[in-house]
Amino acid sequence: MHTTHPRYMGLFNPTPTWWGVAGELIAAGVNPQLAAQSHAPAAVEMERHVLRYLAARLGLPEQAEGSFTVGGAEANLTAVVVALTRRHPGYADAGLAGLPRRPRRPVLYASAESHHAWLKIAHLTGLGREAVRLVPADAAYRFDVARLRALLDADIASGHEPFLLIGTAGTTGGGVLDPLPQLAYVAGEFGMHFHVDAACAGAVALSDRLRPLLAGVERADSVTVDAHKWLSAPMGAGMFLTAHPDALAESFRVSTSYMPADSETTADPYLTSVQWSRRFAGLKVFLALAAVGRQGYAEQVERDTALGELLARRLTEEGWLRINDTPLPVVCVVDPDRDAAGPERSWAWHAAVADRVVRGGEAWLSPVRLAGRPAVRLCLTSHRTRSEDVEAVVSALGAARTAPRGA
Ligand SMILES: *Cc1c(COP(=O)(O)O)cnc(C)c1O
């Protein structure tokens, strides 16, 4: 099953909008060079417009700036570099070797349910994977603030330096929203950079009704939003936003004789991004927004959310037990009897059921573990999905559940 199918209930990969596809084609044909403002002034302006518009919808301060990225992982990498640069001005030139001997090690904190690109990022920034504290989630798979506090105290006592706290708005497994206001408070108390990874859920900023789900994001020092997830852009289009444009500029500063001089009004994008030559990724988002408007996106995320509620209700009626608690259209269910049989047997059974559905070609869904607990995961990200599709997936899952072993 292709990822653009209305019954692909998968890994946040959307059905692209027609305007998004047109944007890809135009960007490829015109091929503007997004490194330098002087080479593509209109393109740079369109990207800045989208970034500023989104920053305003998220409630970030007026000076917020950002950059388009390949995806969420690059945006999260940018967050770590910016956070380190804000904390240690010497990091830019002397690197980690230039940090004071004490504290021993800069450490960052994310929920164990967060996106694990943090480990790769810690590796490649030189922090090392051991610098990532994956805090075990609470019973609802949310960031456990009490555990975080205990870990912070222990780390500080052993001479480490907490510098970055990450809240996830829409965890990849369970679609769970971390308690952003509490995390913002703790970040402030310990002087940590507060990053919100809203790769998936950032889209709800476009809906007046759903935007309150992101309460607390306005206090973030930086935010990740993926346009190629719930904003239905073709891959790849991520966005990094920060309330500290000076730290972003400091993170990527460089000067060469062969690049055109910086314009007076706008920083060249290659100076605010890991990338240098860059494709016009923002066009597909700009065009889709221009065509359907904020209202068009609001209607989509509200409809998807309502379909997610319908899916959860129907599965519950069929005897499945929902184990994740989120208003986002991510539904993780277990068969209560198999769930009680222990994680190993439960995983084998739930994975086999998901596999049967996928092999039948009726729908795509996947097994997942939430804090180790196996389940079947269904996630709505196609703007083509309708209630008939929800019903079809519920019956495909029902058939797979009762199929004889090995069928
Ligand atoms: C998908 C995802 C990422 C990674 O984004 P890519 O676009 O795949 O690089 C990061 N964080 C969260 C919460 C995600 O869901």
- Does residue 103 surpass a pLDDT of 70? no
Condensed to tens digits (0 to 9), the pLDDT of residues 238-268 reads: 999 999 999 999 999 887 777 776 655 667 8
Distance 171 CA to ligand 1 centre (A): 9
Distance 402 CA to ligand 1 centre (A): 34
Distance 10 CA to ligand 1 centre (A): 13
Condensed to tens digits (0 to 9), the pLDDT of residues 274-304 reads: 999 999 999 999 999 999 999 999 999 999 9
- Does residue 406 surpass a pLDDT of 60? no
Q: Is residue 311 within 8 Å of 393, Cβ to Cβ?
A: yes
Atom of ligand 1 minimally distant from the CA of 169: 13
Look at 88-102, 168-182, 222-236 and tell me which has the smallest mean pLDDT: 88-102
Instruction: Classify burial at 336, counting beta carbons within 10 Å of its beta carbon; exposed 0-12, middle 13-18, buried 19 or more.
Output: exposed
- Does residue 407 surpass a pLDDT of 50? no
Question: What pLDDT is attached to residue 266?
Answer: 64
Rounded to whole angstroms, the Cα distance separating 392 from 335 reads 19
Share above pLDDT 90 across residues of the chain, in percent, rounded to a whole number:
88
Protein residue whose Cα sits closest to atom 10 of ligand 1: 72
Over residues 17-24, the mean pLDDT reads: 96
Atom of ligand 1 minimally distant from the CA of 172: 15
Question: What pLDDT is attached to residue 98?
Answer: 82
For ligand 1, pick from 226, 231, 232, 239 the residue to mutate: most ligand atoms within 8 Å of CB: 226
Start and end residues for every CATH 3.90.1150.170 domain found in the chain: 293-402
| pTM, full prediction | 0.96
- Does residue 113 surpass a pLDDT of 50? yes
Condensed to tens digits (0 to 9), the pLDDT of residues 178-190 reads: 999 999 999 999 9
Instruction: Classify burial at 286, counting beta carbons within 10 Å of its beta carbon; exposed 0-12, middle 13-18, buried 19 or more.
Output: buried
- Does residue 358 surpass a pLDDT of 70? yes
Atom of ligand 1 minimally distant from the CA of 228: 7
Distance 98 CA to ligand 1 centre (A): 31
Atom of ligand 1 minimally distant from the CA of 114: 13
The secondary structure of 288-312 as a DSSP string is HHHHHHHHHHHHHHHHHHHHHHHHH
Atom of ligand 1 minimally distant from the CA of 235: 7
Protein residue whose Cα sits closest to atom 6 of ligand 1: 72
- Does residue 368 surpass a pLDDT of 50? yes
Q: Are strands 373-379 and 330-334 parallel, antiparallel or unpaired?
A: antiparallel
Q: What backbone torsions phi and psi does residue 326 show, to the nearest 5 degrees? A: -155, 145
- Does residue 369 surpass a pLDDT of 70? yes
Token pair recorded at residue 305 = 């959310």
Protein residue whose Cα sits closest to atom 11 of ligand 1: 115
Protein residue whose Cα sits closest to atom 5 of ligand 1: 72
Distance 72 CA to ligand 1 centre (A): 4
Atom of ligand 1 minimally distant from the CA of 168: 13
Condensed to tens digits (0 to 9), the pLDDT of residues 322-346 reads: 999 999 999 999 999 999 999 999 9
Distance 374 CA to ligand 1 centre (A): 21
Distance 225 CA to ligand 1 centre (A): 9
Over residues 33-41, the mean pLDDT reads: 92
- Does residue 144 surpass a pLDDT of 70? yes
Question: What pLDDT is attached to residue 404?
Answer: 63
In order of 58, 79, 122, 218, 405, the CA distances from 242 in angstroms are 11, 8, 20, 11, 52
For ligand 1, pick from 172, 223, 274, 285 the residue to mutate: most ligand atoms within 8 Å of CB: 172
Rounded to whole angstroms, the Cα distance separating 56 from 218 reads 9
Condensed to tens digits (0 to 9), the pLDDT of residues 62-82 reads: 999 999 999 999 999 999 999
Start and end residues for every CATH 3.40.640.10 domain found in the chain: 18-289
Atom of ligand 1 minimally distant from the CA of 198: 13
What CATH code is assigned to 18-289?
A: 3.40.640.10
Distance 259 CA to ligand 1 centre (A): 32
Rounded to whole angstroms, the Cα distance separating 229 from 206 reads 14
Domain over 293-402 is classified CATH 3.90.1150.170 = yes
240 forms beta bridges with: 67, 224
In 3D space, the residue among 86, 29, 36, 58 whose CA is nearest the CA of residue 250 turns out to be: 86
Mean pLDDT, the chain, whole residue set: 94
Q: Tell me which residues have their CB closer than 6 angstroms to ligand 1.
A: 12, 71-73, 76, 115, 117, 168, 172, 197, 199-200, 226, 238
Rounded to whole angstroms, the Cα distance separating 315 from 333 reads 8
Distance 289 CA to ligand 1 centre (A): 21
